[in-house]
Structure 1
């Protein structure tokens, strides 16, 4: 056995013995996101959040929608101080109850601060009752609580202006999450059409249709629209709730998204026009008579002609019997009417 074959076999056996998953050559400069998460000691939710926050850099994989991580990136993170605890702390997300404990306030006050946009959610999920549970970075909450200029917001009566906003129903949590998630999608996009699709993902399809009139441009753009996080069945109630949270509702938010989309679509057209049918196909389709485009229906089966029906053996037999009967009746009638012969 050659030295090269022996080395390859040893790598395969080592990967299987350690339970590290499929064998991957150590000199492969890229690994899958699942393998990267295991090597970094992160749960998948922690890894995905670290990617969205820019803590871990990824690149497109070999197939559409796949992301990969460079081994050099993994080594950079592993060489950081206090690994892996520091990396885990940087992506530790908490809900309302734990967040309120970190700030030393009641849950109701924490919710009011978040509705006013002073605390920005980093993610959300739906509980078993399909209620939205917002998540916040623990590190950001600590920084907010340690800032002396926020002390008045954590204790005592809420300022009059802020109380008025709360009374009017203000809730900036969905909008702030959309702004944060859009930043992640734009960082991940590596193509002008992908950046335009990222912005279009936060607009109602009607707004996109009003802005991008050309049907070929719009069809190409829709291929880059991103679904809300969660990966649920698009027709499920949970997916519809997530889609609603991802769609801009405020007039000013819609206005700046439309302006950004118009600029990005112009940039994408200049970079690479959207695919269109060839000129010959369009010309042939336009010049083809309308009648020729209609489906041609097969004619119903023809009924046999009368002469053909008479030529069948059964018909000939019936005709022969009718002829004999007619001649017999004719002779009988003549005999009855002829005079008797004298004796």
Structure 2
């Protein structure tokens, strides 16, 4: 009975991979549909990735024109195809994108680590069909716009960050998750200035969203992705810092960041049990001999000279000059033999 109850929540939803297959989408198209809010997901109670409910799948299948309309809504193209959709030259389209008139929806790095921006086909068609934009698609571009492009203005990364932040905030389940989404677009030094408590920074890192593109840490590709995903304009940084400060106040009021127990609480913990008495518990501890005094230390003996013979004390009943007479007799015997 308990096993059936545990599997019921899983049966009412499915993983992202399974949902993409049932909807007839590639995984990149499915992720983009979630990014745009067209497919709603729910957090996994088991701590895994986000899931899609069966009710949401049924709603998408019942939509008019499914699956053609769903696929068309997530169709993203690069610069060349985007220019063809709008009926302009690729150079003109790039100029419009750099000026922020069309906003990229995602990006990737090619084999040369060059950034490839992708744009939604539906948005490009709506831009081209708008009569107010007709002067931008034909004729000579205004002088101010040409000067901005010549000065190096490129709003594509910033516009993408704004769009990506909206996606992260929609996916956030609480104030700490929203704060982590804001912090993910700021440099670590900027976050450290606002979040001075290391335990709060650690708590934010738990909810930090994954980067939109994958690369080996420290690689050149990772540096390119970091540059795109980090705010660089002064006004953009100031806005993110202000939003992060306000969201942190809401998060602290909602729930404090976890931190170790205070010292007073640890003092009331039971003391550890003493170690068991071993076989050598009753052996006396080794006693260190006192360090000899240099002034009373005996002089070192030379190895080339023999130790002096200590004279034996006299024994009662033996003459004291016995060793001398024995040596004299031996010398006399040697002289006679040599003669």
Q: TM-score, normalised by structure 2?
A: 0.77
Match of 1:335 in 2: 326
Match of 2:70 among 87, 94, 118: 87
Q: Separation in 1 of the partners of 2:207 and 2:9? A: 34
Match of 2:198 in 1: 215
Q: Deviations over 1:163-209 (max 9, x none)?
A: 12112110000000000000000000001100000000000010111
Match of 1:167 in 2: 150
Superposed CA RMSD = 3.0
Q: Separation in 2 of the partners of 1:169 and 1:282? A: 59
Match of 1:183 among 161, 166, 169: 166
The offset of 1:337, in angstroms, is: 3.5
The offset of 1:102, in angstroms, is: 0.5
Structure 1 unaligned spans of 5+: 1-7, 9-23, 285-300, 306-321
Q: Deviations over 1:65-123 (max 9, x none)?
A: 51100000000001111111110000000000000000111111110000000010000
Q: 1:27 to 1:163 in 2, by over 3 A?
A: closer
State the number of aligned residues.
Answer: 285
Q: 1:332 to 1:96 in 2, by over 3 A?
A: farther
Q: 1:88 to 1:256 in 2, by over 3 A?
A: same
Q: Separation in 1 of the partners of 2:225 and 2:25? A: 25
Q: 1:71 to 1:331 in 2, by over 3 A?
A: farther
Match of 1:144 among 93, 116, 127: 127
Match of 1:18 in 2: none
**SS of 1:158 mapped into structure 2:** coil
Q: Separation in 2 of the partners of 1:217 and 1:51? A: 29
Q: Deviations over 1:115-166 (max 9, x none)?
A: 0000100000000000000000000000000001101001111111111211
Counterpart check, 1:32 vs 2:23: no
8 A contact 1:192–1:267 mirrored in 2: yes
Q: Rg larger in 1 or in 2?
A: 2
Match of 1:290 in 2: none
8 A contact 1:117–1:172 mirrored in 2: yes
Superposed, 1:220-235 pairs within 5 Å as: 220-235=203-218
Match of 2:270 in 1: none
Structure 2 unaligned spans of 5+: 268-285, 291-306, 313-320, 333-339
Match of 1:314 in 2: none
Structure with the bigger percentage of helix: 1
8 A contact 1:227–1:243 mirrored in 2: no
